[in-house]
Structure 1
Amino acid sequence: MRFLPALLGVLYFGIVFSAKSQQVDFVKGVVFEIENDQPLPGANVYWESEPQKGVVTDINGEFTIESIEFPAKLVISFIGFKESVRIISVKDLEKPLKFYLKPDELSLEEIIIRDRAPDQNVKSLDMGKSSIPIETIKNIPALFGEVDLLRSLQLLPGVQTAGEGTTGLFVRGGSADQNLVQLDGAPIYNPSHFFGFFSVFNPDALQGVEFYKGTIPANYGGRISSLIDVSLREGNYQKIKGEGGIGTISSRLTVDGPLFSDQSSFTVSGRRTYADAFLRLSPNENINNNDLYFFDLSGKFTFKLGEKDKLSISSYYGSDFLGLERQFGLGWNNWITSALWNRNISDKSFFDLNIYHSKYKYLVNFDDEDNGFRWDNVLSETGAKAQWSFLPSENTIFQWGFHTQLYHFAPINLLPSSNSSIEPTNTNPRNGLQNNLFISASTDVNSKLRIETGLRWSFYNQVGKGVTYIYRGGVPEPDAVILDSLSFGRFENMEFYQGLEPRFSFRYLLKDDLSIKGGFNRNYQYVQVASNSSAGLPIDRWIPAGTYIPPIRGDQVSLGIFKNIARNKWELSLEGYYKDFKNIIDLRQGASVLFTDNVETEILVGNGYAYGLEFLLKKNIGKTTGWLSYTFSRTWRKVDGISDNNWYNPRFDRPHDVTLVLNHEFSKRWSANLTFVYTTGQAVTFPIGSYEVDTQRLPLYGSQRNADRFPDYHRMDASVTWRNTDKGRKWRGSWNFSIYNLYGRKNPFAYQFTEIVNDQIDFDPGSGEEVFSRRPGVVMTYLFTYIPAITYNFQF
């Protein structure tokens, strides 16, 4: 392998650097909430004598601060908690410090939405990055009362949705498969339940989420549009606690606590719908014989192996099933397992090792004597990622490492029933081996300018077992003649690609509360979805790069201005971006990709670009909090063979997007939340006429793709929450009352261009009724109007 010498060099560099960094120049520690023993991100840590040199705890509640002359007073503060001051001596530095903050009952009159420093919006390098606190996500009104992580991200600027109720994300002109969604470092290939109406993430089980849509750090890669990095919650090390909820269509329960001692903990979470139970109550046999449910289970086990080592093992399993009258069944599931080892080599150097396996499987079964079949498929990714971090000074950090990924896309099997007239189908497997090296550095050039540079180098091999077809003329087309086929053995190289992925970003402070940020980001993506649906379906076919399908390359340039107002009470930002796409795939008109072994004959490759401007005004402090955002964006594609070889918009091109999110605390017991969304209608292709076949009139479509649009989409949701705030009780509960689509807007989900017979859209030609009129018509389908929901949440 040509990447091996470079990999050995990185490993040697890491070992040498670690050996040279044993001197103690920093103080390390962790900040916890005393009530639940959970890490407290965003807490301020500073020496009483030098408050200007303070730091902020990270998502794990950890901090590293430069040492001063001892003994010295170290101060830990966080709004909503009592300040902690401790005298630190040299003897205390023998092991990491632990701080436990108590809630300050007197400070609860103000509500703070943040898990970071109050001026981080201006002073950090982060651009196009969002961290939504889990408590904020839980307060947002939700469909059927089901709090949802991915639907909450749709409320951020630069993020579009596939349509009514779905959790699919389209970020800055990218398609849904261009988002890397990972849980504790393991990718999730279908992060949704109920055909995209709910995500797989139970909010009670989550520690946090970081969302990157701008400059993605060099230690992440594999997707060209965004990174959604989700982490499961660590368990309480002191006592067993739990929380959950009983909702309109599902219930959930999460329990955590010490495992064997105060050096280990567990978190176990489960959730299940009971829509199938309601179906059983129906007197209609066409309904009570149906099945419709999803469930998910997750667990995280954490072990402190000493003062320097921590091991976490996470697992998630989620499953969906739809069954109609015991004749048709569609099911799919995700199963991921991840292990993460963190080692503090010294006060200046750290090592992280993540090993994971992610598997996605679906099954379609049709029980019919003449046309019955069973169709299943499996895809998986197995990987290992090692990362070293070195902090030579308080404001400088180096990171480097490697990431190895093995993709396996199993053969697609269509097995007919014994008496079925359907022909069996079996495709060849597709496999890929990807190796990545990365290195980055971040430092302050001076008091105003901070920069970060990074480089990721990806090597991709399409490997056997597999088959490559040779076409006449060398171009795969639907009617091309196959001249020959080449068979490859296990792990035998079939095709090779590689690419350098540079990253650069900067922040320049104009004032203490005003900064300019910019960046450049290049990513390669070696696996993508070939699908006719923009919303994402459980049966979507993932395609790895190969002989006829090159990897996608995405370049993004972004620039923004960030301002904090009234002592960080308000945040204001304006970001612009331009993205360039190379080797984007799209399907030929009428393409069928599900069962063919020659999928390259149904795919066309082209280029694209996107640009946009994102405005965000956010209020963090006070009884009323929330944000207002506006996005103007355009997305274009050009693929020879589509739309007369002209530029066209993909379905998720929506020029205007407005979002309003408000939360108001009336008292400690009562609060209310409201969201409003408005977007331009999605781009679609309407028929230009009709034609008749066997007395049936069918729509006729033109050559231009997505030249029409749905009507504009808008909706308002609202909720009210009542809480039991008695801190002395072991059991605390709250009631949430919500209404989805408050004013009953009938947003179109689909249009059907058909023939209206006898002025009836559902006329049955076989009914024997006399036909006295026929006319062309358009039938609009919408999913939801008013949807009230009630949820009881509890903690113990």
Structure 2
Amino acid sequence: MICQRYFLTILFFAGFLVNSQGQGTKSTTLFGTVTNALTGEKMSGASVFVMEVRKGTQTDKGGFYILSVPSGKYTVKYSSIGFKPVLKEIELRADQVNQDIQLEEDTKLLDEVTVTTGKPEENVQKVEIGASRLNIRSIQKIPAFMGEVDVMRSLLMLPGVTTVGEGTTGINVRGGSIDQNLVLMDEAPLFNTSHLFGFFSVFNQDAVRDVTLQRGGIPAEYGGRASSVLDVRLKYPNSEQFSGSGGIGLISSRLTLEGPIVAKKLSTLLAVRASFNDFLFKIGPIALRDTKANFYDITNKWLWTINNRQELTFSGYFSNDNFKIPSDSLSSVDVNASSSLFGYRTASGTLRWQFNVNDKVSWEAAAVLTNYRASTMIPDSANAIDLVSSITYQNLKFQYSNRTNPRHFLKGGAGVIGYGVQPNTLTPGPYSNILPLDIEREHAAEFSAFAEDEWKLTDNFSAVIGLRYSQFLRLGAATINRYAPGGPLAEDVVIETETYDKGAVVKTYGGLEPRLALRWTLGATTSVKAGYNRMRQYLQLVSNTTAALPTARWTTSSPYIKPQIADQVSLGLFKNLKNDMYETSAEVYYKKIQNALDYKDGADIVLNEKLETAVLQGDGRAYGLELMAKKNTGFWTGWVSYTYARTFLQINSPFPEERVNNGNWYPANFDRPHTLNAMTVFRPNLMVTVAFNFTLSSGRTATYPFGRYTLFDPTIFGANIPIYLNRNQDRIPAYHRLDFSITFDQNPEKHPERKWKNSWVFSLYNVYAHKNAFSIFYNLRPYALTEANKLSIFATVFPSLTYNFKF
């Protein structure tokens, strides 16, 4: 009821503004497509700016733009990072004017937007709030760990984005856990975004076109996660000529080939990256010589241009990781073992068809399939096991877009998703003492539909009004436990089980998810924005470790585990200075979470057949302030950002065993109040680029023992037993790190006819070798005083050297 009143008020106010603006000057709609002159690729995020009226927009995912201005003669600037800008004198007299533009790459550009989260004017002119865009050219300038350009690590330089520590998978966005981020690669969701347990991301830099992180005012077409959307788009294959690129580094090497198969009809891109580093451990300390750490991934994209109005694309991705340690320190299974072999892989494919009815109306349809599989293998004969889990995701969806009315950009669509979850299957070896276990599979379906209108009410006021509806069905075959009424959920109080046949509906959840974004421009360089969105999450990651491993357990909503529901409001002020040379922004947000998930003390997650007895749900809240200032042009570019953010949970219940911290509010594992990031790039000439980035943040929360007691049982030699009281009431020391890189490019003026281009990148990660604490643990040696120890993942400086090439 509150949501309905809210929307009616907004619509009434919008109608009043429209009716009060009068007829005014006759306007003309300018529209068209921006493409790469060399490859023919449609360029998303290119800037289109009318100089005289200081009004602009950006191209969408298909390179299309549309802009309404008063009739007249104008100079229109078309630009994008790393391309020569195009100035066109256009006379706008008719109702509609079509202008298609091709942009050429510019290797001589010194005053380019070297590092930016968007385009000049975008932060002021776009209606969306809490959105950041990173062009792959920008990401490549950020100093990388071991020379490996990392999309996920680059996001940590943005305000509102943190992680629990180095070498961990996933990111935390505005107080959300890592599973609350919907990560898409050409519309296919990824359930693990890292290689080698978080050291590198799964995205190959040579195949990525751009990255968009939506963390506030999320469009209605997205759903299924409670915190943010990370949309990674792959490059379109070069349809004009064959080309290639790649690099050779200390950790991994890569090669990308692309070009036409059938001229102007069919083209493809193939990017391969591999890391085989076992030889590095052979020459290291004896304790590490049995360690294995390698991965590879393959990214493939096909483009079939059916005709000038239709295209068909296929994007495929496959990755595989193997990680072996000579101990069981990472094993989540309570088994004594001399070594553990961890493996995980992702296979995904997206088939997408787009039909442009005309220049302003289009249809899209997509079929998506993703499979993620994780395994833990312990080879010891007496304790040999193979623990396997997997997720299968299937999605069929369509979308309609209409730009016929220059004041309205209408979008709508629907889709259906199928989930198949294999929680864990434990298979013992032929001589193992371990008993087998096969946890029941989970099946579910999700239906959704959405409608959205980007409505330009006046020249200074615009709104994006969206509504999404989702319906989730937990399906059989399934066996549901029924517990004694009036008491807590526990394994020993199951009174009966209820069996559901295959396809039968076990439990349903669903509801409306309203979305709203408002923009009010206060002149050409200043705007105020506000946003609201509700998100529902039906698939959840369950872990009782500080940093969830790629082998952690996923589960769907059930009669006992409810979907998480997040409501977020945000408000921002955006101001550009000196012809958009400088951008500044300030945003505040507040988020309320229903059914936030946490675990019981001492919970067994991995091999628990009654998972609902090990987890708890309650309320969550997150709020924060995000400040950012950027310099976009010149020999020196970069940004500085500061974030104040808090995240709290409350798990309360009538039963003491189902409370955390006695039912009081407590900070989440990933709560970091203060974060400061600074990034700068200096390009003194065409051949040298120097980059620095610095980060400083509060230590994350931790739980330290309140005391200890000693057992003098001779069988355990007087072990010290820690006593824990409240959760997450302490903090590890603050985190800070400086990185540096220098890039030497081939002189483009010396041999301009050469097709082979190369560069060398030297980088230093953690320049001053600071030993940042990942965790604090205690040495409980028998008959000894308890000692605190600090675990550092990267406790020294890490140099790297990478050779990149392009032809």
- TM, length-normalised to structure 2: 0.88
> Residue 589 of structure 2 contacts residue 625 of structure 2 at CA under 8 Å; is this kept in 1?
yes
Distance 1:507 1:70, change over 3 A: closer
Cα distance, 1:471 vs structure 2:
1.1
Match of 2:792 among 778, 782, 786: 782
Aligned to 1:81: 84
Q: Aligned equivalents of 1:698 and 1:121: distance in 2?
A: 56
Say whether 1:572 aligns with 2:594.
no
Cα distance, 1:28 vs structure 2:
5.3
Aligned to 1:742: 767
Aligned to 1:705: 727
Amino acid corresponding to residue 585 of structure 1 in structure 2: L
Amino acid corresponding to residue 514 of structure 1 in structure 2: T
Aligned to 2:329: none
Q: Aligned equivalents of 2:642 and 2:119: distance in 1?
A: 25
Amino acid corresponding to residue 407 of structure 2 in structure 1: N
Q: Aligned equivalents of 1:745 and 1:309: distance in 2?
A: 54
> Residue 168 of structure 1 contacts residue 535 of structure 1 at CA under 8 Å; is this kept in 2?
no
Unaligned runs of 5+ in 1: 1-24, 758-772
Distance 1:448 1:85, change over 3 A: closer
Distance 1:450 1:375, change over 3 A: same
Match of 2:429 among 417, 432, 435: 417
Q: Aligned equivalents of 1:70 and 1:687: distance in 2?
A: 73
Deviations 1:243-297 (A, max 9, x none): 111112110111111122222211110111121233456695x655443201100
Q: Aligned equivalents of 1:617 and 1:308: distance in 2?
A: 41
Aligned pairs, number? 753
Instruction: Classify the secondary structure of the residue corresponding to 2:403.
Output: strand
Say whether 1:39 aligns with 2:42.
yes
Aligned to 1:100: 102
Q: Aligned equivalents of 1:778 and 1:422: distance in 2?
A: 34
Instruction: Classify the secondary structure of the residue corresponding to 1:150.
Output: helix
Aligned to 2:232: 230
Distance 1:114 1:60, change over 3 A: farther
Say whether 1:436 aligns with 2:448.
yes
Aligned to 1:767: none
Aligned to 1:666: 684
Aligned to 1:322: 323
- TM, length-normalised to structure 1: 0.90
Amino acid corresponding to residue 37 of structure 2 in structure 1: I
> Residue 643 of structure 1 contacts residue 704 of structure 1 at CA under 8 Å; is this kept in 2?
yes
Instruction: Classify the secondary structure of the residue corresponding to 2:532.
Output: strand
Q: Aligned equivalents of 1:534 and 1:282: distance in 2?
A: 28
Q: Aligned equivalents of 2:219 and 2:110: distance in 1?
A: 36
Say whether 1:493 aligns with 2:495.
no
Cα distance, 1:72 vs structure 2:
11
Q: Aligned equivalents of 1:71 and 1:642: distance in 2?
A: 67
Say whether 1:635 aligns with 2:638.
no
Aligned to 1:688: 706
Q: Aligned equivalents of 1:533 and 1:303: distance in 2?
A: 46
> Residue 41 of structure 1 contacts residue 116 of structure 1 at CA under 8 Å; is this kept in 2?
no
Aligned to 2:21: none
Identity score, percent = 34
Deviations 1:284-337 (A, max 9, x none): 5x6554432011001000111111111110010011012356963211001111
> Residue 663 of structure 1 contacts residue 674 of structure 1 at CA under 8 Å; is this kept in 2?
yes
Amino acid corresponding to residue 713 of structure 1 in structure 2: Y
Q: Aligned equivalents of 2:215 and 2:186: distance in 1?
A: 19
> Residue 544 of structure 2 contacts residue 605 of structure 2 at CA under 8 Å; is this kept in 1?
no
Deviations 1:661-685 (A, max 9, x none): 0111011101110010011001010
Cα distance, 1:215 vs structure 2:
0.9
Q: Aligned equivalents of 1:312 and 1:153: distance in 2?
A: 27
Distance 1:107 1:409, change over 3 A: closer
Q: Aligned equivalents of 1:782 and 1:485: distance in 2?
A: 47
Match of 2:624 among 599, 612, 624: 612
Aligned to 1:306: 307
Residue correspondence of structure 1 range 215-364 to structure 2 within 5 A: 215-280=217-282, 287-324=288-325, 328-364=340-376
Aligned to 1:403: 415
Q: Aligned equivalents of 1:614 and 1:84: distance in 2?
A: 35
Q: Aligned equivalents of 2:76 and 2:706: distance in 1?
A: 72
Residue correspondence of structure 1 range 140-179 to structure 2 within 5 A: 140-179=142-181
Cα distance, 1:409 vs structure 2:
0.5
Say whether 1:447 aligns with 2:469.
no
Say whether 1:127 aligns with 2:129.
yes
Q: Aligned equivalents of 2:496 and 2:86: distance in 1?
A: 74
Cα distance, 1:77 vs structure 2:
5.1
Q: Aligned equivalents of 1:51 and 1:534: distance in 2?
A: 53
Deviations 1:63-122 (A, max 9, x none): 3456999999987555851536599999xx99x975333345765455554585521211
Aligned to 2:202: 200
Segment drifting more, 36-45 vs 361-370: 36-45
Deviations 1:542-583 (A, max 9, x none): 111110111111000111111101111101111000000100
Instruction: Classify the secondary structure of the residue corresponding to 1:353.
Output: strand
Aligned to 2:212: 210
Distance 1:622 1:70, change over 3 A: closer
Amino acid corresponding to residue 158 of structure 1 in structure 2: G
Instruction: Classify the secondary structure of the residue corresponding to 1:520.
Output: strand
Amino acid corresponding to residue 213 of structure 2 in structure 1: F
Say whether 1:555 aligns with 2:567.
yes
Amino acid corresponding to residue 316 of structure 1 in structure 2: Y
Match of 2:33 among 27, 30, 36: 30
Cα distance, 1:708 vs structure 2:
0.5
Cα distance, 1:491 vs structure 2:
1.4
Instruction: Classify the secondary structure of the residue corresponding to 1:278.
Output: helix
Amino acid corresponding to residue 35 of structure 2 in structure 1: F
> Residue 685 of structure 1 contacts residue 701 of structure 1 at CA under 8 Å; is this kept in 2?
no
Deviations 1:584-609 (A, max 9, x none): 11100000111121000101110010
> Residue 705 of structure 2 contacts residue 725 of structure 2 at CA under 8 Å; is this kept in 1?
no
Instruction: Classify the secondary structure of the residue corresponding to 1:131.
Output: strand
> Residue 153 of structure 1 contacts residue 159 of structure 1 at CA under 8 Å; is this kept in 2?
yes
Instruction: Classify the secondary structure of the residue corresponding to 1:177.
Output: helix
Distance 1:44 1:180, change over 3 A: closer
> Residue 516 of structure 1 contacts residue 561 of structure 1 at CA under 8 Å; is this kept in 2?
yes
> Residue 218 of structure 1 contacts residue 454 of structure 1 at CA under 8 Å; is this kept in 2?
yes
> Residue 690 of structure 1 contacts residue 697 of structure 1 at CA under 8 Å; is this kept in 2?
no
Distance 1:324 1:562, change over 3 A: closer
Aligned to 2:668: 650
Cα distance, 1:489 vs structure 2:
1.6
Instruction: Classify the secondary structure of the residue corresponding to 1:259.
Output: strand
Amino acid corresponding to residue 134 of structure 1 in structure 2: I
Q: Aligned equivalents of 1:277 and 1:260: distance in 2?
A: 42
Cα distance, 1:703 vs structure 2:
2.5
Q: Aligned equivalents of 2:524 and 2:73: distance in 1?
A: 31
Instruction: Classify the secondary structure of the residue corresponding to 1:672.
Output: strand
Cα distance, 1:159 vs structure 2:
0.8
Cα distance, 1:196 vs structure 2:
1.2
> Residue 407 of structure 1 contacts residue 431 of structure 1 at CA under 8 Å; is this kept in 2?
yes
Q: Aligned equivalents of 2:396 and 2:643: distance in 1?
A: 37
Cα distance, 1:650 vs structure 2:
1.0
For the aligned residue pairs, the C-alpha RMSD in angstroms reads 2.7
Deviations 1:519-545 (A, max 9, x none): 111111111111012422122111111
Cα distance, 1:220 vs structure 2:
0.5
Cα distance, 1:62 vs structure 2:
2.6
Q: Aligned equivalents of 1:41 and 1:113: distance in 2?
A: 17
